[in-house]
Amino acid sequence: MKPSFRPARGRSYIAFYKPFEVLCQFSEEKESGEEKKTTLAAFDFPASVYPVGRLDYDSEGLLLLSDDGRMTRELFEGREHPRTYLVQVERVPEAAQLLQLEKGVLLQGVKTRPAKVKLLTDEPQIEERCKPIRFRKSVPTAWLELTLWEGKNRQVRRMTAHVGHPTLRLLRVSIGQLRLSDLGLKCGQWRSLSPEEVLKIFA
């Protein structure tokens, strides 16, 4: 199938390795007395771009930014595009819990779409988080590779909590066929994407 999206000449398409505790917006809406939070404004992006989709404040990984509104429409209003996450959870899920995640779980009365889930046997080779995760030494943890074709609010965390395995760390590692590991980025870095790399998002 041919890609449904073609990058436009003169437009910006950026991949960003979003760190933990960064808001996916350029301005902060802070209540009086609240601690100041880091926003995208701290990373010197071109003035014209905005985030395409989002990652939660306490999640990390691949975030796209662009000044091409067609990209947002294609990713979220067009055909479905997979997004893959590495998820560290409390305790080791059994086959029954993994099957629940694959088939879909009820979140506020709405069933999530089928997902692809893999229990990793080895800890993934990723950067240490700037703030260590909070975990109980007496409780083991496990890593999942989870691919979704939708993006409800805090969906991954809600799904793993639903099956009894709260999320401790969440890292988005790919959108479509564009993989964070192929981009040569360290946490907090960004770079422009080539037209070929943009096409991988929609492949």
Q: What proportion of the chain, given as a percentage, has pLDDT over 70? A: 94
For residue 15, the one-letter residue type is A
* Number of other CB atoms surrounding residue 115 within 10 Å: 22
Task: Identify whether 8 is part of a domain.
Answer: no
Residue 30, pLDDT above cutoff 70: no
pLDDT digits 0-9 by tens, 167-196: 999 999 999 999 999 999 999 999 999 999
The total number of structural domains in the chain stands at: 2
Q: Are residues 17 and 40 in the same domain?
A: yes
| Domain assignment of residue 46, given as a range | 13-79+177-201
Note the pTM of the prediction, 2 decimals. Answer: 0.93
Cβ neighbours of 99 (radius 10 Å)? 12
What integer best gives the mean pLDDT of the chain?
A: 91
CATH of the domain at 35: 3.30.70.580
- Say if residue 140 is in the same domain as residue 116: yes
Q: Give the catalytic positions in this structure.
A: 56
CA pair distance 92, 75, nearest whole angstrom: 33
How confident is the model over 70-124, as pLDDT tens digits? 998 888 876 678 999 999 999 999 999 999 999 999 999 999 999 999 999 999 9
Same-domain status, 102 and 163: yes
Q: Which of 11, 93, 90, 88 is nearest to 52 (CA)?
A: 11
